[in-house]
Structures are given as C-alpha cells and as structure tokens.
Amino acid sequence: MCGILAIVNNNRTCTSQHLERACSIIRHRGPDDEGFLMWSPGNDAEIYSGKDTAPSTKNHWEYNELPPDESFKVGFGHRRLSILDLSPAGHQPMRLAQAGLSITYNGEIYNYLEIKEELEKLGHKFHSASDTEVILHAWEEWGHDCLNDFNGMFSFVILDEKNKKLFAVRDRFGVKPLYYYKGQNTFYLASEIKQIRTSPDYKFDLDQDVVRQFLAYGVTEHSANTFDKNIKHLPGGHYLEIDLSVENSEPQIVQWYTIHPQKWHGSFEDAAVKFKHLLTDAVKLRLRSDVKVGSCLSGGLDSSSIVCIAADLLKASGDYAGQEAVTACFEDLQFDEWKFAKEVIDKTNAHPHRVFPSFQLLQEELDALLWHQDEPFSSTSMFSQWSVFKKTHEAGLKVMIDGQGADEQLAGYGGNDLSLYAGLFKEGHWVELLEEAKHYKKEKGSWPKGFILGALQLDLGKSFSNLLPAKYKLKKQSGPDWLIYADQVVIDNEPAHSLRDNLIRQLQCAPLPALLRYEDHNSMAWSVESRTPFMDYRLVEFNLGLPERFVLKNGLRKNILRHAMHNIIPSSIGNRRDKMGFVTPEEMWLKGEGKEWFKDGIAKACTQFGGHLLDAGKVNSYVNDIVDGRKQFDSMPWRIFSFHRWFNSL
C-alpha cells in the first residue's frame, strides 16, 4: 500500500522538484521509502532515490539521488508502505528493463503467488518477492488482459517505453483511488487530490453541481466528478491510455471490467456453503503479508465474521498468538457496541484495543481529517473510522482487515424492500411475494400497500400510476427548499426495478464508492493499509447472482451471511437486527455540547454562501427545528458545516 504519482510533462514546465513536492505531501501514505523515475523519448527511464529513501535501498540498487531542476517527458513518484518483501528489492518505481516497462503502484494483488508460479512456468525470472514485479511480468506476457487475473485492490501507472504508451489502471470496484487532471501543459495522475494542487498550472474551479448534490443528499463519488471541475477520478474497472508519441495527447478511457453476476441454480443450503468457502478464501488471501495483520472490529455481523474466520485460519496454520482488534467505543451505551465486540474477543482470544471518539477530539482533529480526505464528508461517522485507524497506528499495526462492502451486496441497509417487491413481481414469483407481504403484516400490523403499489408502478408505468391516489404514487425526489436552485440538482433516485439492480447501484454509484474513499484516506492518513475481503470480486459476483430472497427474506437482511456464519460467530451477533457501523453521537453533539459550535459554523456558511447557494433563513429554521426536536434528525447541519470548513481550508 503506497502513494503514487505520474506526470506527463508536455512542454517540460515541470522539473524534478515538482515530482518531489507532489510526493512529499503524501508521506503519510508511505513513510518507509521514496523513489522517482524520469523518462524522455530516446532515453531509457532512470530510477532515482529521494531524501526519504532508506539507506539500504540506495546502497543495494546504487540509485542516484534525484537531480534538482531536471526536466522530463514522463515522471513517476512513489511513497512506499512496505508490506510485501520488506527488502530493498521492493523499491519503487520499479523497472523491467528487457521489456521497457516501468511502474508506480499502490495496492495489493492478493493472488500474486499463483500468478507468479504461472509466469515462472512460461520462463519469467524474478528478482524480488513483491507483487509489484509480478504485475510487470504479467503485463509483459499478456498486456492489459492480465487485469482479469488480478484479485486485489490496486491503482497503478505503467510506462511502456517501446510503444511510447502510458497506462493508468484502477481495480474493479475502485477500492484504491486514482485521480487525474489535465492542465495546459501537464497531465497528472495521483493517489490524492492534494498532489495535483501542487501542479504549476493547476487552477481551482468549484463544481456547483457536485456541491449541491452533496448538500442535498450527502452523495459523492457517484460519478467521475469531484468538487473541483478540473479534477476527475478514474472509475473503478477502467484504465486510461495516453499516446506519448503525440504531444498533448488526449487520454482514452476504457472499461476493462463489468460485473457479471454468477446465476445460482442450487439450494439455499448449498449456496450458504459456497458463500462460506468464498468468504473464507477471500480472508485467507488477505492475510498474506510480511507484517502483522490486525482487524477492525465493530461487533456487527460483517467485521465479526471476518475476525472469526481469520482466527480459524490462523489457528489451522499453527500461527496464532491472537489477533489485534481495534474497536470504537462510546460512554453512551446506545452508540456503544463493545458488548458484542467483547464476545468476539473472548471467542477468538484476540487482543483488544479500544478507542473513544469524543466531541472534543472531533473539534481538535477535524481540520487534519478534512485535509486528509481532500473533500467534505457527509457525517461524523467518518471521525469514528479515523479514530480507529489512529489507534491502529498507535498499536504499531500496518495492515487491517474489515467488513467494508458487505452491506451493499447483501442488502444491509434499509430502503431495499421496494426493489425486492418489484423484482418478485416482475419475475412472477407470486408465492414469495405473498410470503413477504404476510410477514410484513405480521410484523407491522398492516399490509405493505406502499411496496406492492410501488412495485406495480415500476413494472406497469404511468398508465397504472395515474389510477392511484396521490399518496401512493412514486414521486421523484427533489432538492430541499433551503438549497438555492435545488430544482437543478440532478441525481438518479428512481427506485431500482429489482433488488439485484439496487445492490449494483449501491456498489457502483452510492454509497460504496464514497465509503471506499473515506476508508482509504482515513487509513492511509495513519500509514495503515486496509483490506476488504467482502470486495473480492468472486464473492461479489456470486452474491449478485443469488435468488434475491437468499439475501433479503421476510425483512431479514444479510440472510445468507447469517446462515453461513452459524456456529462461527457468536449467536447474539448472528441474530442482531440493528445496524450501526461506524457511528457517532452526532445528534447528541448537535443538540448538546456541540450546539454552539455547529450553529456558529452554519452561520458562517450562510454568510459566505447565502443568496447563491444557501437560503440562510430556511437553513437556520431547519437546523433549529432539528435541535428543538420539531424535525427528525438528519446530517444536513453537518454537511453544511463540513463543506464550509473544507472550502475555507483550501
């Protein structure tokens, strides 16, 4: 896990100093080593050390130090967090001289050993034990087709000197970030937006549409756009190609991965067995490391499953002294999950590390958190995650595994029911539809008229909708009235026509892409690599191919996960119906000790953005209604506060 940089320097306006500056700003992503590469047509690429390069690396490879003020056509920068092959042989950027290929790479290819074995049979010789070298040899052998064999999280840039091409690649689901910016003279690719802002021809231009979508709904990362019109992120499952033989060439973006749900035709029991096998293998691959691997443990279904599976795997290998597990805790028991996490600790003999995010710490650390995130975030739950990774760093851990991504593919959130009913209706599964409705009536005391009539409207369209009373008609969501030009907020919020389609939307549009960005930036802020077994593409495609009621049945979310983890996780956790995740007492802070802090920040936002973005009167009225309990709590006050604080930190 690292931080990367690539600059295509069309008019030679950038020098080695720009490379160094854009890398030093992300030292947190890779404090263990630093390296650079410079290439111009007609010359071989040269790899250099940096000021932070480990002495052993320089001595081993005899790299020259980065020369000052030297120009280049293509420049690479790299900050290394050493996880696989801790020796100097893992130094980056890395070059495969005989193929004329060089790489700067962030991430992990978890199945690199299997790919390496296949390449060795084809005659390839390796000089390190790193997955980085495996990527280079795989690219030499198969070109970009090798991406289909990679099981992992990755973003990397490859320079092909022989063909004068540059390729930038992002993993299937965008677990690892990759941003790009095309200036007048330069093209930047980077792990974090702040690197791009060091470009000599960078100019900030706020994207008003992205801002309004964030303020209205709290969504980000649902498109390639960022809060800056000039900076985009490469979508997951895509690669970008630049022809270096053409000056100022336009990048071509190609989709290399599309989700292919693997349709399941067997029984539920057999599916649960298959699910358990896939998740176990995903965890096993993500335990590969040359440093200790710890776990983020909330006490919920997802993280508890990961910790318990990892414990069983480590015990079976004879290498188990107890995992290090980090948990966010709160003095207020309604937000605290420690009693559940403690059950997992006791079951697995893990070593617990508890952290207590507080309002005082949020105040003290917010500016650092916003700087690391590069963009505003939608709720203070991100501060809990930040605190967990801070504690991880303090515990001396460099790698963590967690349960991120399970909710989006296993219907862990509320709001999936309408799509479930619509899918059952569309497929003509009348018995299952009736069973769902009966269970709803038993639980709620009335028939699910809204879901049933909504499903009919999705299938039959306006001809049926026009026959219904207004209260049952599906309405297009509109922006809030406290947002100026709210009617211009465009976002796809029509209910999906099946549960599967809704889950794919959650994986690819919202909320997962934003959650992955939060996790990457929060973990790397503390020089920690976070691994997500649920994002193994084999498991994702299996889950999306299941009959929908294997996933959500009679209101029970994550149905197959609960069944597969029977007797593996404590029964009290397997039977949990509440959904918490990385929570904070945000409502209590807003109404209590943080009320004046929140109100002051929102008042400043209204002064700065009132009249052209916010309707100050309506904003203040809305916030007061939340504080006084006249309106149900939501994170609207935080979104405004966060945006204002971020904008004024630029």
Domain spans of the chain, in order of start: 2-255, 268-410+511-574, 417-505, 586-647
Which residues have a Cβ under 8 Å from the Cβ of 66 and sit 6 or more positions away? 16, 19, 20, 36, 48, 49, 50
| Alpha carbons 292 and 290: distance in angstroms, whole number | 7
**What pLDDT shows up at residue 581?**
55
Pick the most confident of 484-493, 504-513, 569-578.
Answer: 504-513
**What pLDDT shows up at residue 464?**
86
Residue 345 and residue 318 in contact, taking contact as beta carbons nearer than 8 Å: no
Beta strands at 74-80 and 186-190: parallel, antiparallel or unpaired = unpaired
**What pLDDT shows up at residue 11?**
81
Which residues have a Cβ under 8 Å from the Cβ of 345 and sit 6 or more positions away? 297, 325, 352
- Mean pLDDT in residue range 57-63: 64
| Alpha carbons 514 and 219: distance in angstroms, whole number | 8
- pLDDT band at residue 69 using 50, 70 and 90 as cut-offs: confident
**254 CB neighbour count, 10 Å cutoff:** 12
CB-side neighbour CA atoms (13 Å) of 106:
35
| Alpha carbons 236 and 224: distance in angstroms, whole number | 10
Residue 357 and residue 328 in contact, taking contact as beta carbons nearer than 8 Å: yes
**What pLDDT shows up at residue 110?**
98
pLDDT digits (tens, 9 = 90+) for 92-114: 999 999 999 999 999 999 999 99
Q: Mind spelling out the 3-state secondary structure of 293-339?
A: EEEECCCCHHHHHHHHHHHHHHHHCCCCCCCEEEEECCCCHHHCCHH
Strand partners, 39: 74
Residue 645 structure tokens = 């604080």
Q: What is the mean pLDDT of the chain?
A: 94
- Mean pLDDT in residue range 376-397: 97
Specify the fold of 268-410+511-574.
Rossmann fold (3.40.50)
- pLDDT band at residue 471 using 50, 70 and 90 as cut-offs: confident
**What pLDDT shows up at residue 56?**
64
CATH superfamily of 2-255: Aminohydrolase, N-terminal nucleophile (Ntn) domain (3.60.20.10)
- pLDDT band at residue 36 using 50, 70 and 90 as cut-offs: very high
Helix extents (H) in 46-180: 55-61, 112-121, 131-142
Cis peptide before 88, with omega less than 30 degrees from 0?
Answer: no
**What pLDDT shows up at residue 266?**
97
**What pLDDT shows up at residue 61?**
61
Strand partners, 35: 49, 78
Q: Which residues of 488-509 are buried (b: 16+ CB within 10 A; e: fewer)?
A: ebebeeebbbbbbebbbbbbbb
Beta strands at 165-170 and 152-160: parallel, antiparallel or unpaired = antiparallel
**What pLDDT shows up at residue 59?**
59
**What pLDDT shows up at residue 220?**
94
**What pLDDT shows up at residue 467?**
83
- Mean pLDDT in residue range 133-157: 98
Q: Identify which of 242, 106, 125, 235 has the alpha carbon closest to the alpha carbon of residue 507.
A: 235
Q: 3-state class of 122 per DSSP?
A: coil
Residue 285 and residue 151 in contact, taking contact as beta carbons nearer than 8 Å: yes
- Mean pLDDT in residue range 140-146: 98
Residue 499 and residue 419 in contact, taking contact as beta carbons nearer than 8 Å: yes
- Mean pLDDT in residue range 122-128: 97
Residue 579 scores a pLDDT above 70 = no
pLDDT above 70 covers a percentage of the chain that reads 98
| Alpha carbons 220 and 213: distance in angstroms, whole number | 8
pLDDT digits (tens, 9 = 90+) for 546-567: 999 999 999 999 999 999 999 9
CB-side neighbour CA atoms (13 Å) of 556:
16
pLDDT digits (tens, 9 = 90+) for 596-643: 999 999 999 999 999 999 999 999 999 999 999 999 999 999 999 999
- Cβ neighbourhood burial of 435 (10 Å; 0-12, 13-18, 19+): middle
Q: Identify which of 280, 330, 289 has the alpha carbon closest to the alpha carbon of residue 307.
A: 280
| Alpha carbons 60 and 49: distance in angstroms, whole number | 11
In the block, residue with structure tokens 């006249």: 630
**What pLDDT shows up at residue 526?**
98
